[in-house]
């Protein structure tokens, strides 16, 4: 664990026994998260980004799950912590915000009472009245207008954006050091998304909350992240600072993701750049690099799995899994004056 | 551009849903003005993009336009013929001209039917083909949307989201419709798959001369595929114009707000934008 890291994962592995064999959902993920830092984990469905986050909080524990490696919060190892110890960590030290604000609250209890319950579960000495006052304060701090009155509303009386903010309020109720947000804005309209992103940013700046942001949207990443991890088929294929990933991406999958983005501030291309094929089944991964079958730049060596290594001499923390040389990458990622992944015509 | 007769023309379309209250006898106490006076027309072979946030009325416009919901008032003309208020029976022959692609490829395909049947049913129902001819046509359709012939006997659950959406597209184009209404056809798909589906829709438009009404909340995607864009807000169209015009020089305040909220996937640009916003506010 590097000094200054609040949360640190080393070689995290999560597999699930299925009828078709062992499904390796997460295969050797490592990262360090410092106070006040936003780490974005980017990937498609099945890339392992959500399983990574859920495993940190022990939410993937089950008889058919095989979990290996290490996740440390300070000095506490989370992977083999007891359920009682984990319950103390959840909410109190690590807060979590889920994608769907519609299904994450219990519809038959008032919002305020659910926040009070979360507080009192950890702080037995807090009275209901104190808890309620705290809930009002929290809702107010995330920008819910008229919080004093809205605290007694039921979840269905809140709009989607307000519910997501209420969920952030609940996640922050016990002032956790780490916030895990799994696709927190995916279900929201863009104008509401912008508000929620501003809120997350403010929490980072003002309270030093360390955040893991899980998303498939590189636009959202560009707005809030400090560091980025790109996942594909259970593995990290590239990681680096925000600017390294956007302006000097090393892995062809990252090029493809960047290339397929639509930009409103640029003239539109005739055809939308696409990544051909589909992500592989985790039960039958190709030999070597998992992205090989979709990669127009694959060559003989790709049948051997590249390690996640720093391959640029002047950027020791920028790592990727691609055998191409930095010079080849610089040349091949240029498609029509921008970064992209295009099958050779 | 030739001023061809529009394929579909919607004028002053209104759809209000009643809000009812009362114990034994429902009284109408208010109305939700889901669509509140919408007008647009789409020339043959072109694409109109409808954008707006949830609840703006874009999906209701689609449903009313296709007469899946009866309009409260207003006119919908398809190839010059008024179709608002036609009976089910009168609409039946027109149905094959107008098809729909849905958002959720997991919910819009019958899980108990094989792919061949899902795609072939419209052909069968409209009496276009049967037997060996039907099978042949379905195989051609599968091929056209990028699926393999051996997919014919599989069930929807055996496919990924992107492939399912291809099945939905094959079903929609089976009857060689003139108008295809696509309601959020890519928003449930992964980023790397979205572009494939958008490009497929683009290709099919060129090959088959389709006219699209394309609904999405992702303005970037809408701009890419559309000739014209209409922006909806609270059941009304607040602005419409050519795709580039609306995106680059929006005139309406709501459109400006909507465009400003779209994240820019470019950290430097996004920082600059936040600094400008910070300086202004």
Q: What is the mean pLDDT of residues B49-61?
A: 91
Residue B244, H or E segment: helix B243-248
* Cβ atoms of A286 and A277 closer than 8 Å: no
What are the beta bridge partners of residue A338? A335
| DSSP conformation letters of A325-339 | -HHHHHHHTEETTEE
- Give all strands (DSSP E) within A19-90, no chain letters: 21-34, 38-42, 65-73, 76-77
Residues 6+ apart with CB under 8 A from A226: A37, A38, A39, A241, A242
d(CA B214, CA B182): 5
Query: How many CB atoms lie under 10 A from the CB of residue A165?
Result: 26
Question: Which chain A positions have a beta carbon within 8 Å of B223's beta carbon?
Answer: 262, 264, 268
d(CA A106, CA A113): 10
Residues 6+ apart with CB under 8 A from A94: A7, A56, A57, A73, A176, A177, A178, A179, A180
* Cβ atoms of A155 and A149 closer than 8 Å: no
Token representation of residue B7: 């394929």
* Cβ atoms of B61 and B13 closer than 8 Å: yes
Residue B35, H or E segment: strand B27-43
Write the residue in A160, A246, A260 that is nearest to B192 by C-beta.
A260
Over 60: is that where the pLDDT of B206 sits? yes
Over 60: is that where the pLDDT of B223 sits? yes
Handedness of CA A255, A256, A258, A263 (dihedral sign): positive
Q: Which runs of consecutive H residues, i.e. helices, occur in chain A? A: 49-56, 83-89, 111-122, 128-141, 147-150, 160-171, 190-207, 218-224, 242-247, 252-259, 326-332
- For residue A269, give the DSSP letter: P
pLDDT at site B1 = 47
Q: What is the pLDDT of residues B73-132, one digit of tens each?
A: 999 999 999 999 999 999 989 999 999 998 888 889 999 999 999 999 999 988 889 899
Average pLDDT, chain B: 91
B254: nearest CA partner in chain A: A191
Write the residue in A216, A246, A269 that is nearest to B191 by C-beta.
A216
Per-residue pLDDT of chain A (345 residues; tens, 9 = 90+): 566 789 999 999 999 999 989 999 999 999 999 999 999 999 988 899 999 999 999 999 999 999 999 999 999 999 999 999 999 999 899 999 987 777 889 999 999 999 999 999 999 899 999 999 999 999 988 888 899 999 999 999 988 888 888 998 899 899 899 999 998 888 788 888 888 898 888 888 888 999 999 998 999 999 999 999 999 999 999 999 999 999 999 999 999 999 988 888 888 888 888 898 888 989 999 999 999 999 999 999 999 999 999 999 999 999 999 999 999 999 999 988 889 887 544
**Chain A: nearest CA to B83, how far in angstroms?**
33
Q: Give the sheet arrangement for strand A210-215, strand by strand.
A: A94-97, A178-182, A210-215, A38-42, A227-232, A235-241, A319-320, A309-310
Q: Which residue has the tokens 């039946």?
A: B92
* Cβ atoms of B43 and B159 closer than 8 Å: no
d(CA A73, CA A31): 12
Helix or strand or coil: residue B6?
strand
Write the residue in A189, A247, A258 that is nearest to B53 by C-beta.
A189
pLDDT at site B177 = 96
d(CA B240, CA B234): 15
Token representation of residue B266: 């470019």
Write the residue in A190, A261, A263 that is nearest to B261 by C-beta.
A190
Question: Which chain A positions have a beta carbon within 8 Å of B263's beta carbon?
Answer: 190, 193-194, 197, 217, 219-220, 222-223
d(CA A303, CA B137): 40
Handedness of CA A153, A158, A164, A169 (dihedral sign): negative
What are the beta bridge partners of residue A27? A13
Over 60: is that where the pLDDT of B281 sits? no
Nearest to B163 by CA among B139, B174, B147: B147
pLDDT at site A316 = 94
Residues 6+ apart with CB under 8 A from B276: none
d(CA B192, CA A27): 22
pLDDT at site A344 = 44
**Chain A: nearest CA to B106, how far in angstroms?**
14
* Cβ atoms of A261 and A219 closer than 8 Å: yes
Q: What is the mean pLDDT of residues B238-250?
A: 95
pLDDT at site A286 = 94
d(CA A278, CA B161): 10
Write the residue in A189, A219, A256 that is nearest to B265 by C-beta.
A219
* Cβ atoms of A67 and A55 closer than 8 Å: yes
Q: What is the CA radius of gyration of chain B?
A: 20
Q: What is the ipTM of this complex?
A: 0.85
What are the beta bridge partners of residue B51? B231
Nearest to B74 by CA among B37, B40, B46: B37
Q: B interface mutation test: which of A189, A245, A282 has the most B CBs within 10 A? A: A189
What are the beta bridge partners of residue B81? B78
Angle between the N-to-C axes of helices B191-208 and A252-259, in degrees from 0 to 180, rounded to the nearest 10? 50
- Asked whether the beta carbons of residue A222 and residue B264 sit closer than 8 angstroms, the reply is yes
Helix or strand or coil: residue A21?
strand
Q: What is the CA radius of gyration of chain A?
A: 21
Angle between the N-to-C axes of helices B131-144 and B115-125, in degrees from 0 to 180, rounded to the nearest 10? 120
d(CA B77, CA B59): 18
Q: How far is CA B160 from the centre of its chain?
A: 21
Give residue ranges of A with CB < 8 Å to any B CB: 44-45, 160, 189-191, 193-194, 197, 216-223, 242-243, 246-247, 256-258, 260-265, 267-269, 271-276, 278-279
- Window 45-104 of B, Cβ < 8 Å to A: 53-54
d(CA B150, CA A250): 37
Per-residue HEC secondary structure of A212-234 comes to: EEEECCHHHHHHHCCEEEEEECC
d(CA A292, CA A297): 8
d(CA A272, CA A289): 25
pLDDT at site A345 = 42
């Amino acid at each position: 664990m590097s000094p200054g890291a609040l949360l640190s994962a080393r070689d995290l592995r999560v597999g699930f026994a299925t009828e078709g064999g062992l499904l390796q959902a997460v295969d050797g993920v490592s990262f360090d998260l410092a106070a006040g830092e936003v780490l974005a984990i980017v990937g498609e469905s099945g890339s392992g980004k959500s399983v990574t986050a859920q495993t940190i909080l022990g939410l993937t524990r089950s008889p058919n799950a095989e979990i290996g490696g290490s996740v440390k919060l300070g000095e506490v190892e989370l992977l083999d912590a007891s359920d009682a110890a984990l319950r103390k960590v959840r909410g109190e030290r690590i807060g979590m915000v889920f994608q769907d604000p519609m299904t994450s609250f219990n519809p038959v209890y008032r919002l305020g009472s659910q926040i009070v319950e979360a507080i009192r579960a950890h702080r037995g000495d807090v009275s209901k009245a104190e808890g309620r006052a705290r809930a009002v304060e929290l809702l107010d701090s995330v920008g819910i207008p008229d919080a004093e009155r809205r605290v007694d509303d039921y979840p269905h009386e809140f709009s989607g954006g307000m519910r997501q903010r209420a969920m952030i309020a609940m996640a922050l109720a016990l002032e956790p050091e780490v916030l895990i947000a799994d696709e927190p804005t995916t279900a929201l309209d863009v104008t509401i998304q912008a508000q929620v992103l501003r809120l997350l940013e403010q929490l980072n700046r003002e309270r030093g909350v360390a955040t893991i942001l899980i998303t498939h949207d590189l636009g959202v990443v560009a707005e809030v992240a400090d560091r980025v991890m790109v996942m594909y088929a259970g593995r990290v294929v590239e990681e680096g600072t925000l600017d390294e990933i956007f302006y000097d991406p090393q892995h062809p999958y990252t090029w493809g993701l960047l290339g397929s983005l639509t930009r409103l501030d640029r003239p539109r291309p005739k055809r939308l750049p696409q990544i051909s094929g589909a992500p592989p089944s985790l039960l039958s991964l190709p030999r070597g690099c998992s992205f090989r079958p979709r990669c127009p730049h694959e060559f003989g060596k790709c049948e051997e799995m590249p390690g996640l290594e720093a391959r640029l001499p002047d950027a020791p923390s920028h790592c990727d899994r691609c055998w191409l040389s930095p010079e080849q990458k610089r040349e091949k990622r240029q498609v029509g004056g921008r970064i992209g992944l295009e099958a050779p015509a | 551009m030739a001023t061809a007769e529009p394929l579909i023309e919607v004028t002053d379309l209104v759809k209000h849903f009643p809000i009812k209250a009362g114990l034994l006898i429902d009284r109408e106490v208010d109305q939700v003005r889901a669509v509140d006076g919408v007008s647009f027309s789409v020339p043959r072979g072109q694409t109109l993009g409808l954008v707006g946030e949830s609840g703006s009325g874009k999906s209701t416009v689609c449903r009313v336009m296709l007469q899946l919901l009866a309009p409260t008032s207003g006119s919908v003309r398809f190839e010059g013929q008024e179709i608002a208020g036609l009976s089910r029976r009168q609409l039946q022959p027109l149905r094959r001209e107008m098809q729909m692609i849905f958002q959720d490829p997991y919910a819009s395909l019958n899980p108990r039917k094989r792919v061949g049947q899902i795609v072939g049913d419209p052909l069968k129902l409209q009496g276009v083909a049967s037997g060996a001819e039907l099978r042949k046509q379905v195989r051609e359709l599968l091929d056209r949307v990028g699926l393999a012939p051996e997919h014919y006997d599989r069930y929807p659950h055996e496919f990924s989201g992107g492939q399912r959406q291809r099945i939905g597209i094959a079903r929609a184009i089976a009857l060689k419709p003139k108008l295809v209404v696509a309601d959020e056809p890519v928003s449930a798909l992964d980023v790397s798959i979205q572009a494939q589906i958008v490009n497929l829709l683009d290709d099919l438009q060129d090959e088959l001369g389709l006219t699209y009404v394309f609904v999405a909340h992702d303005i970037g995607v809408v701009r890419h595929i559309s000739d014209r864009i209409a922006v909806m807000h609270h059941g009304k169209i607040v602005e419409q114009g050519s795709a580039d015009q609306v995106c680059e020089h929006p005139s309406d305040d709501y459109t400006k707000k909507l465009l400003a909220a779209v994240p820019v996937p470019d950290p430097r640009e996004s920082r600059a934008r936040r600094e400008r916003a910070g300086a202004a506010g």
